[in-house]
Amino acid sequence: MTELTLGYSPCPNDTFIFNALIHGLVPCPGVTFHERLEDVETLNRLALKTQLDLTKISYHAFGHLRRDYVLLHSGGALGRGCGPLVVATQPMTMKDLHDKPILIPGELTTANLLLQLYDQKFSEIRVLPFDQIMPALERNEAAAGVIIHESRFTFAEHGLHQLLDLGAWWEQLTGLPIPLGGILAKRSLPVRLIQQVDQALAESVRYAQAHPEKAAEYIRQHAQELSDSVTHEHIQLYVNEFSVNLGDEGIAAVQELLARAEKCRLIPVIDLPIFATS
């Protein structure tokens, strides 16, 4: 029996995706998973220390992890209309933020990478956990923040103003969907094992889509502060056909993001295949 550590977030899209795999509702013969649920920035940091065999990460982090990890085709968050938003306490332009404090949900998040690709002149970037950004803005602790996850559904209720949809900006710039987070496997694992896990994870997504009620209790257990309606919106937004398989368009989006980040020197240039090869 092969034992693998597996990291993912407690967000509804991840618990929805991984529920069937973790609870043996889809087969992955000879493999036992030991899950660890953490926010994505913590997972990014754990992966930098190669502490997890398999893990959800931000694509920004993947740019720094390619020597030690390969990307799976399934299980990730990539799509259209689902990118991070820049919100502010007052209406203003993005140029107005060049000398003002901006909160981001983690240095290695794709949200931060997109902000830097949009404009590298922001001089006061501060890190806060994603769920603390809107409360901090309400306390006037910063001028603006980059919000992710379910915050995009609720920011207006907090009196905040949207300045920029970074996902829409990316889609208009490239014509491609926005790569937010993916699932990685240690490059040192046997290729056949990586492919087996990738296939099982795709089946876990399909199972969840076909039997959403089976994941409801697991999702609720880790998202107790979210209403059922917000949880549903979250899953509908971040789980789609790209979660089953990136496909050619998804792969092109990932490669474009990494190439632009390398060109801007935001990640190191690494000449290795991003997927496991035999």
Instruction: Give the integer Cα–Cα distance in Å for 156 and 187.
Output: 42
Give residue 201's identity as a one-letter amino acid code. L
Phi, psi at residue 51, to the nearest 5°?
-90, -10
Find, among 82, 88, 105, the residue nearest to 162 by Cα: 88
Cα separation, 115 vs 123, in Å, equals 12
Q: Is 57 annotated as a binding residue?
A: yes
Residue 31 tokens read as 């493999």
Q: Was 110 annotated as part of a binding site? A: yes
Measured CA to CA, the distance from residue 178 to residue 120 in angstroms comes to 19
By annotation, the residues acting in catalysis are: 149
Buried b (16+ CB within 10 A) or exposed e, 128-153: bebeebbebbeeebbbbbbbbbbbbb
111 is in an annotated binding site: yes
Distance separating alpha carbons of residues 114 and 146, to the nearest angstrom: 10
Type of residue at 210 = A
Cα(15)–Cα(10) distance, rounded to whole angstroms?
6
Q: How far apart are CA 70 and CA 191, in angstroms?
A: 10
Helix (H, G, I), strand (E, B) or coil at 6: strand
207: closest CA among 28, 58, 29, 5?
28
Tokens, residue 88: 């502010």
User: Binding-site residues for substrate, please?
Assistant: 56-58, 110-111
Annotated binding site: 56-58, 110-111
